[in-house]
Structure 1
């Protein structure tokens, strides 16, 4: 089961949209074993994209309380598996290392 809040599902969609084509291109250019390396590079590139999208979506917004008129800071919560989107930028490179390790076993 996939759990997300807000636009957190974009982590999966961005990672798939970048890593899968990178793996396909690397596999077609250099052979089937290189597709894992291409997918790993795609995960690292997706991590960069996820970081900036998460920073933008989870940035606090300045507003005013409707009843009192006092300034309030509204925080968004866009999470994927209870982890804020921008922190997935540090998890995706670990996934990339795991993909590369399975592509080139010792």
Structure 2
């Protein structure tokens, strides 16, 4: 089973200045939470669509430890469509094994 949690926030009457400010906040959060020099094995960070003229900015963080039964992917998207600025954050948990067993704590 693939589990997804998501939140989307949209603001109206925004422009490029607000888009850049939001991208800067996401970039600062990324550096604070996932520093390049201390990322563990199994953690992948991909920043895509970061050209200054691209209306969409996206960061994907995937964590899958070697003995884990699932992979967690966090995706943050900032998009400016017309004058609507959208912030979307999703986390997806995907199984990496074909076994179906109950989880016991």
| TM-score (normalised: structure 1) | 0.31
More helix by share: 1
| TM-score (normalised: structure 2) | 0.31
- Higher alpha-carbon Rg: 1
More strand by share: 2
